[in-house]
Amino acid sequence: MSVVARGLTKRYGARVVLDACDLEAPEGSIVLIAGSNGSGKSTLLRCLAGLARCEGEVRMLGAPPGRARGGEVAYLPQSVELPCATTVREILDLFGADERDAPADWLPPATARIGGLSGGELQRVAILATLSPRPRVALLDEPTADLDGPARASLFAWLARLRDAGTTVLVTAPAPDRDELARAADRRVDLVGGGRCVQAVA
Amino acid sequence: MVAERYARLELRVATRSRALAVAILVAALGGIVVAALGAVTFRQLGLRAVTPSALALLDLLMLVPTLVAVVLGATSLGAPGDVPLRAMLRARGAAAGDLALAKVIASSAGAALVAAAAAAGAAAILSGSARAADLAPFAVIVAAALFACCALAATGVAVASLAGDRAQALPAAVAAWAVLAIGVDLALLALAPALRGGGAALLAAAALDPVEAARLAGLLALGADAPVLGATGTILSERLGAGPALAGLLALPLVWAAVMTWTAGRLLGRRDG
């Protein structure tokens, strides 16, 4: 298993956001994480990425969160912002991303300033920075946000290619895209009331 | 590797800011004005003399770049896009300490440009009348200013790592600069008579203040003696000798920078999860 969580619990003060969640994601799979607003989807991904402390046992590629070998776990935050004064090329260079990994017509011009990009263009730059070079585990928090129809279709095809290459993808999506993503997913984790997780194999 | 690339990106972001361009221009003009006002004195006595003109140049090089350094450090965290970018880098395996180091390097480099501009402005005026003997003290003063910039940039990043957001970090960092650049100096002046014989306390106070240490190094390079050096500088040069005292004072800001960078890394790691 690439990702294993046992009894993952996250509290903000007295509020329990994730309550003893169990989760397993095999190598080369897409796992859809679903739930209503505030159900803890983003918190779950942040815990797995090692960006939020949590209770319970979590293993990412056999190591604790944040301890996997450099570059093997990638994370795309929700509502991504990038420094306005940088260019597309500089952001890609920072992550060592190769624009040839992206679908055709995915990227705005490499010399474009980040501050001048539309929301969709910015999201596409961030997605490429996350998915290239190919990580072994990709944690994607609403990657379809701000993407138009053709870009969403390209992303779903890209995620399927990554899965076939052995990447484990854990992804959340807003309600309109959830059904489409669920069709491509191998597993589904529903975050239900009180922070509990229900996992199902598609 | 990631830290190195991140430092380069951060430096590019810093150098593209209009505020830094203005600071560089103001510093260069400041250097020109200070050197021009003291041109006659410099021509007669050179830089190896403690004149009001030399002290003004020293203060310009110590105060303006260090203020820029602490501001750059304090505002380097929490800028638009900074938090998600750091999260993406952390998930990819970048250590919080490396990211803090990258911010310190970029902020120091930005402030170093300001110090270099002030030095270049002064050098443009002084070069006509400079003697070979002026080069060494000038180089020591510029080096001390650069080292103090590293210390204050690291302080700014550490303050920002502790603060909730930039609105809290900026005033806190400027207050820290005021204490280090002016407050400790004034406190030492006030306490020196009471600490007669308390050399260790005075030395400890100087050791805890990278700006004061850098300023004292500059004064020693100018050949300052007891009245101008103050109690701390006098005790230090008497006990260690001018050369070792100068080396120690130049090293102090770098030690401070290392400690603050380590602290910033720890705080950032705790803050980012």
Give the mean pLDDT of chain B: 85
CA distance, residue B81 to nearest chain A CA (Å):
4
Give yes or no for A27 touching B (CB within 8 A): no
Enter the ipTM. Answer: 0.90
Residues in chain B closer than 8 A to A130 (CB atoms) = 88
pTM of the model: 0.86
pLDDT at B2: 75
Residues of A in contact with B271 (CB under 8 A): none
Q: pLDDT by residue (tens digit) across B49-77?
A: 677 778 888 889 999 999 999 999 998 88
Q: What percent of chain B has pLDDT over 90?
A: 38
Q: Give pLDDT, residue B273.
A: 64
Residues of B engaging A, defined by a Cβ cutoff of 8 Å: 2, 5-6, 9, 12-13, 16-17, 79-85, 87-94, 272-273
Residue A199 has pLDDT above 70, yes or no: yes
Q: What CA–CA distance (Å, rounded) separates A9 from B133?
A: 68
Q: What pLDDT, on a 0 to 100 scale, did the predictor assign at position B245?
A: 84
pLDDT at B42: 74
Residues B39 and B47: their CA atoms lie apart, in Å, by 11
A122-172 confidence digits (pLDDT tens): 999 999 999 999 999 999 999 998 888 889 989 999 999 999 999 999 999
Better pLDDT: B241 or B118? B118
Q: Contact A76/A126 with Cβ under 8 angstroms?
A: yes
Q: Which chain A residues have a beta carbon less than 8 Å from that of B12?
A: 85-86, 90
Question: CA-CA-CA-CA torsion for B101, B106, B109, B113, nearest 10 degrees?
Answer: -160
Query: Nearest 5°: phi and psi at A196?
Result: -85, 150
The DSSP symbol for A84 reads T
B-interface mutation test, from A42, A45, A47, A51, most B Cβ less than 10 A away: A51
Tokens 């509502």: give the residue: A79
Is A11 within 8 Å of chain B by CB?
A: no
Taking CB atoms and an 8 Å limit, are A90 and B12 in contact across chains?
yes
